[in-house]
Amino acid sequence: MHRFDFETPLEESLSAFDDLIRAGKVHYIGFSEWTAAQIAAALTIQDARGYNRFVSSQPQYSALWRVIEAEVVPLSQKEGIGQIVWSPMAQGILSGKYLPGKKPPAGSRATDKKGGAGMISRWMRDDVLTAVQKLKPIADQAGLTMSQLSVAWVLQNPNVSSAIVGATKPSQVKENVKAAGVKLDANTMAAIDKALGKLPEMDPAQNISPNPRA
């Protein structure tokens, strides 16, 4: 279920999902960008009605966007729901391709007015870009590229089942897949936290599901 539906009764949606599973049309169901309260409400209904439960959550998650850690992850761990996260490189910011004081590379997401320029704009600040460049020696020491380091970082969270990584070239796919199975030690994780400082968004209220219409 992509984003929480404020216009359709939750029980109606969950009943429809259960019908699809029982009909053999889908095997598993999940949701994207829900708050912990929304997840808990759905599970309560599913358990009370004997419906098949949600098994996956698809939130945005990266070393710069950590809003799921305080509430969504603890609840999901308790309830057996895995995170399939998107944008582990923060729209490409954590790849290190964007440099402070420099124009974005031609053809990059930041130059795509019809695509990702809007989403990436929150990170296109010199303080963020300067901090991100501090990750390069950390990646080098770990024998990784900055992109691999950012993907490996999200995969260290035990509640993260998989990461959805965007790519525009086959070479990027080959590079990023090497992050699978990488174990970052405690010193490396601490160094990443120190480099980024207070820049990561941690507030669970920043969940990007739309608000109810007035």
Q: Where are the domains of the chain?
A: 55-205
Say what the pLDDT of residue 208 is: 66
pLDDT in tens, 163-200: 999 877 888 888 889 999 999 999 999 999 999 999 99
In contact, 172 and 146? CB cutoff 8 Å: no
What does the pLDDT read at residue 136?
98
Residue 126 pLDDT: 95
> What pLDDT, on a 0 to 100 scale, did the predictor assign at position 10?
97
What are the helix and strand counts (H, E) for the chain? 9, 4
Low-confidence ranges of the chain (pLDDT < 70): 110, 115, 117, 208-214
Q: How many angstroms separate the CA atoms of 211 and 214, rounded?
A: 9
Tell me what pLDDT residue 171 has. Answer: 87
- Tell which residue, 92, 18, 89, 25, has the closest CA to residue 55: 18
Model pLDDT, residue 172: 84
pLDDT at 212: 54
The answer to whether 71 touches 39, Cβ cutoff 8 Å, is no
Q: Name residues whose C-beta falls within 8 Å of residue 76's C-beta, 6 or more positions apart in sequence.
A: 39, 57, 82, 83, 159
Question: Which H or E run includes 174?
Answer: helix 170-177
Out of 3.40.50.300, 3.20.20.100, 2.60.40.1120, 3.90.1150.10, select the CATH number for domain 55-205: 3.20.20.100
Residue spans of beta strands (DSSP E) within the chain: 30-31, 56-57, 82-86, 160-164
Whole-number pLDDT of residue 210: 57
